[in-house]
Structure formats: C-alpha cells, structure tokens
Structure 1
Amino acid sequence: MASKLQLPVDESVLLRVTHSNLKSFSADVRFSLEMAVESVKEKLWKKCGTSVDSMSLGLYDDTGTKVSDLSDNRRPLGFYSPHDGYRLHIIDLDPSSVTSGGWLEDTSLVEKYKISDEAYDKMDGTVKKFKEKLASQNPSGHESKVAENYMEDLCANIKVGDRCEVEPGEKRGVVKFVGKAETLFPGFWVGVQYDEPLGKHDGMVKGKRYFDCPPLHGVMVRPDKVKVGDFPERDPFEEDEI
C-alpha cells in the first residue's frame, strides 16, 4: 500500500504590532513563518498606511529586549525566530507619510467647518429639524420608548478584551467597551475595535471618548449584533489561496 503524501504544516506566530507614529495603534496579528518579510510589510501596510518602501521592522521579545531588525525583505519571517507574544514594531521612515505629524490620531489638527447657531436654525433638512418634527408628532418623546436597561441582559457574557464578530458583515475585532453611552440612545452598547478600517471613528462618539483605537477602526453597536468567541484575525492573503 502506497504511503500517503505528507504535506508540510504552515506554522504561524501571533505578534503584537506597534507603530512609531501611531501611539494608539496596537494589534495582535498572526503571520505565517513562511511569509517573506516583504509580504509581512504588505500585510501591515493595509493596516496602518505606512508604505512598504518606507517601513522598517524591529522584533522585540516579551521582556521588551530587541531581538533583531527584519532587514532582508527576501528572507522568511521564521528566519528571525519570532515567538508568540513577541512585538513587531513598525518604524515609518518617510517624513511626509500620512502617519506623520499625529494628524491621524489628533483630530484637533484637522480644520473644522463651523456654522453659527442662527444660520443652522434657518437651514432645512437638518437633524435638529427632524428631531423637532418627531417631538411634535409624539410629545411624550420618541427616546423615552427605549428603557435605560435595554439589552442589559445580552451584555452578561460580553466583556472588554473578548474577540468578537459583528453583524452584518461578519466583521471581526475586539470588545473595547460595554455599558451605557450617554451621548447615544438609552440602553446598553458595545464598543468594538475592528481588525480592519471598517469602522466609523476612533472610539470617540459625539464628543465623548468611550475607548481608544486607530482611526476608522471603532464602532458602537447594540449587544445583539455582537457574538463573542474564538474569532482570530482573518489573513487577507487567504482569499487569494485555492
């Protein structure tokens, strides 16, 4: 009887990724040890915005000691002997990079459009006018229909730090907030940091910060949209495999 062909096992490692310009950026990412360093950089470029040509990578062990620089783009990641829990630090070498200057994290650096209260009140089709119309149709207030403990029971098994999947779209991430949100409707909310930039904010909603995460990675959703469990970060390269 002919022996079965034994296929090689594609070993992987889970690394904590940080960035020199994005102080709030921190993510646990799984990499194949067979990936070339250049492929690692391409994967990280999609997450942080630093181009492959401008990216330098340093590997640190779990005590914070530098192990090595990933200086050869052609070598596989496994050549540098990373282990689960090690940190992969991105250094952006481009002074004109989109990540430089802190504008991706500091919204105070973005010029804001301002309008006077008087001019806003004269405009039609605004959120304020819409709410006033609802209030006139239902003087008791439409927000009062939502109880203060709305969906509290669904939060019993959801805690900060849990990996999760959010519907619709099966978007994956990590739970960053659970509780009431004073700037949103009554009831309980769950704040999630997506693995990919599929969110709406950086953890600040309507002037209130509920958690910290990279820009466009944060979202606040109702607990019934969140499923916690073993949801590892997806590898974007899996879609190209057959």
Structure 2
Amino acid sequence: MGESVKIITSDFVKVNVTNSKTDAVVFERKFPKNLTILDLKNKLEVVTGGCSASMKLELYNGDKLVCKMDSNESLLGSYPIEDGMRIHVIDDFLLMSTEDVEKFNLTEQQYSQRTDTVKNFLKTNKLGKYDEEEMKRLEEKKREAAAREARLVREITVGSRCQVTVSGQPRRVGTVMFNGEIEGKNKIMIGVKFDEPLGVNNGSVNGKRYFDCQPKYGSFVAPSAVTIGDFPAEPDELDEI
C-alpha cells in the first residue's frame, strides 16, 4: 500500500483588516482558524469600532473578492483564507467615536505618506491597478473588444436581415432598422424590427422614435447580439399545409 500523505497547515492565519468607514488604516492581525465567524466579529469590534451584530465580512486577495464570510456559525478555517489576505469589515460603525473619525480625516498627501493603508498595501504587493502587467493586459483586452465592436457595427447595415441572440431569450429573426447612438446611452445600439411580436417596444425609446414598427415588434440590442445573414421570414403556420 502507498503511504498516506498528510497536509499540515498552520492553526493560525495572519491577515490585514480594513473597513468600509475609512481605508486610511490597515490593521495586521493573527487569528486562530478554529474561531467562529461570530467570535471573529466580536474581536473585530475592538479593532474597527464596528458592531458584531450588524457587521458583514468580505475576504479579499489583494483587491479581488474571494468570498463573503456570512455564516456566523462557520469556522474561519472553513473559508479559503491564507496568510496575507484581507478581511474587509462593512458596517455603519456607530461604535466609532468622533475622535476616531477626526483622526482618520487625512489629506491626500498625508494619506499617500502612510504605510498602513489599503493603497500602500496594494502598491507594495503590486496588486490591482498597481499591477502594471495586469493593467496592460486589461487595457489590451479593452482595445481588442472596442475594435471588434467597431468592426461589427460597420458590417451591420440598415435593411439587412438578421438574427438576434440574447442570453436567456429565444433567438429572434428580423430586419435591421437602426444603427447608431440612443439618446442618453452614449453607445452604439442596433434597432431591430422582428418578424414576430418578440420585442419590447415600437421603435421608440423614452418618447423618441428611431424607426417605425408595431408595438412589441421592436428592440434595441448590442451589436454583438446581432448576426447578419440570409434569415428568411418564418412561415405563417396558418398558411402551412
């Protein structure tokens, strides 16, 4: 028989603690993993000035949400928590005194000079917007998405037959009636007149008309939801033999 492998982990976890009242201060604390979430909240009352009965806890890895720690009976170690992660306390902080609040009212310069802030933590560990490689990758993805949408918009011409595919809805066939910006939306939308009453409007939005069709035959959708092609009108069942 093969030897069994034991995975040994620490009984304690060292985390940073922040709160929704102010991100000017980051506390580093070590907690036992066999602590219930309710007991953890009681300890965090002293650290943050929050109330254990009303506070909510979120676990972060850098600036990425890992999970919400919302079961008071669960043990801290039952969550995927590791050293260096951050517990964020959300509360009204009615227990926090006026003196505490005044102490946290810092200028931007004072805040930047502190070493115990969320901003400094992210910067030191190159997380979130301070991860240059990640930000470059996200920026490149945005550019690619914008170029892809611009290409789609150019290919969609008024009068073309199309199929519209939107998550959670049946595929619909119709004719492109509009390609442009909708007032107040600041983005390109495609207006479609469907062959059947599967839409949501009559070609108008907020009282402004963009094309004409019967009620429930029109919709405005994102360019990515539109496929241009030879989509014949569905035959009327009454005309079928």
Higher helix share: 2
TM range (shorter): 0.3 to 0.5
TM-score normalised by L of structure 2? 0.37
TM-score normalised by L of structure 1? 0.37
Q: Which has the larger radius of gyration?
A: 2
